[in-house]
Each structure stands twice: as structure tokens, then as C-alpha cells.
């Protein structure tokens, strides 16, 4: 019995010396704690919101509220907000916030790993759907995902999401065209004006002004 106790005591001392005095179990516990802390760390995200003057239901405040709810449910932390107030989504022109967002991503100095947008239309109603896809690709190439929080599909690159997103982008651009046609029709009826806006190269171009004949 005395011999067994002596052997056990020596083995214990050697174990503590070689493990730095803490023991393998203590080290494993600390490592597991660190891993658990890393898993609990929220994903850092930027928020992009855009409001066009004719869609008050898309106010930047309403968009931000929906995006914050989405982020909270998915353990995400919003660290930066990019907002275009009263800006058309037909092109990048005049959208300083989106330009700054793209520049931040391209600089490689962004402090976030995801961009949260309400839906495809808020990203833009580009007349060329490829332009919308290109700006998203810039983000994805930099390792930053674009997530449309109110859409019914996950923007995960799967064939289904890619097809649905493409349709959504086309519909967003088409809606802008129909809105323009309605505007032209209303002005023609009200002022007896001659509508002369046409589509050129996938973009809405103003060739002449409205001439009021009344």
C-alpha cells in the first residue's frame, strides 16, 4: 500500500510539472471556455437603407427597425449605417451612401462582415439588372455578404436563390419603368403634354422636356 501511494504521488507531481502546474483538465477547460466565447461573439454588420420620395412606407426609420429585428434574432451587431435619403434607385448617381459603402468594401478596411438591406428594391431599381448584381458581387468578392432581410429567400448563392433574386431585380427595374409611364400619362392628360421619354440602352433617358400646350 505504501509503495502504491508513493508511485501515485510521484506521477501526480510529474504531471503537474509537465503541464505548467495547471493540469491537462484545467487547460482543456480554459480552451473550451475560449471557444465558447468566440462562438457567442456577434457577427458585425453594416446597414444600408434608402428612401425614394414617393414611397413613404419605405422610410429609412421603418427599414432600420426591421433590419435591427433581423440582426437581433441572428446574433448580429450593427456597427455602421449607410443611408440615402430621398434618392432614386435607378442608378448609382446621387446615391452617396451606397457609393461610400462600395468604396469602404473595396478599400479592405471595412469593420463588418455582412451588409443588411431591407429587400432587393432598396439595393436598387437598376434598369440593368446586371448592375445591381455587380455591386453585390463586389461585396461578396471582398468576403462580405449582402442579406435582404425581408425577402423570402436566403441569399446563399444556391441556384434557387439566384433565380429568384434575378427575377426580383428585373421586377424592381420594370416597376420603375411603369411608374415613369404612369407619370408621363398623368402629365399628358393634365397638361396636354407630349410624352417623349424613351428607353435607351436599358436606361431611362430624357431626350426632351415636357411641353405644356395648354
Residues of the chain with pLDDT under 50: 1-9, 11-12, 15-19, 21-26, 29, 37, 189, 193-214
**Which part of the chain has CATH 3.40.50.1390?**
43-170
Residue range 43-170, CATH number: 3.40.50.1390
Q: How far is CA 162 from CA 90, 102, 119, 128, 153, in A?
A: 21, 21, 14, 16, 9
Specify the pLDDT at position 101: 98
Exposure of 155 in the CB half-sphere (CA atoms within 13 A): 23
pLDDT by residue (tens digit) across 146-159?
Answer: 999 999 999 999 99
Global pTM?
0.68
Residue with the three cell numbers 461610400: 100
Specify the pLDDT at position 175: 73
Specify the pLDDT at position 86: 87
Per DSSP, 42 falls in state P
DSSP element (H, E) containing 48: strand 43-51
Specify the pLDDT at position 15: 43
Kindly provide the b/e burial profile for residues 109-148, where b requires at least 16 CB atoms within 10 angstroms of the residue's own CB: ebebebbbbbbbbbbbbbbebebbbebbebbeeeebbbbb
pLDDT by residue (tens digit) across 19-64?
Answer: 454 444 445 545 555 555 456 899 999 999 999 875 567 789 999 9
Amino acid at each position: 500500500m505504501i509503495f502504491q501511494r508513493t508511485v501515485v504521488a510521484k506521477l501526480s507531481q510529474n504531471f503537474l510539472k509537465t503541464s505548467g502546474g495547471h493540469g491537462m483538465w484545467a487547460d482543456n477547460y480554459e480552451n473550451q471556455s475560449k471557444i465558447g466565447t468566440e462562438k457567442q461573439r456577434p457577427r458585425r454588420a453594416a446597414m444600408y437603407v434608402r428612401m425614394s420620395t414617393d414611397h413613404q412606407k419605405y422610410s429609412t426609420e421603418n427599414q432600420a427597425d426591421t433590419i435591427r429585428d433581423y440582426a437581433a434574432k441572428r446574433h448580429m451587431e450593427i456597427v455602421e449605417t449607410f443611408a440615402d435619403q430621398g434618392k432614386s434607385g435607378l442608378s448609382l448617381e446621387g446615391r452617396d451612401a451606397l457609393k461610400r459603402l462600395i468604396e469602404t468594401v473595396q478599400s479592405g478596411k471595412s469593420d463588418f462582415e455582412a451588409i443588411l438591406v431591407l429587400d432587393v428594391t432598396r439595393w436598387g431599381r437598376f434598369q440593368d439588372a446586371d448592375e445591381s448584381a455587380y455591386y453585390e458581387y463586389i461585396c461578396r468578392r471582398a468576403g462580405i455578404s449582402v442579406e435582404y432581410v425581408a425577402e423570402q429567400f436566403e441569399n446563399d448563392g444556391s441556384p434557387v436563390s439566384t433565380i429568384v433574386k434575378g427575377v426580383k431585380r428585373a421586377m424592381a427595374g420594370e416597376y420603375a419603368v411603369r411608374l415613369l409611364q404612369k407619370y408621363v400619362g398623368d402629365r399628358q392628360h393634365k397638361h396636354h403634354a407630349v410624352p417623349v421619354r424613351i428607353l435607351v440602352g436599358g436606361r431611362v433617358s430624357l431626350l426632351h422636356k415636357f411641353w405644356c400646350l395648354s
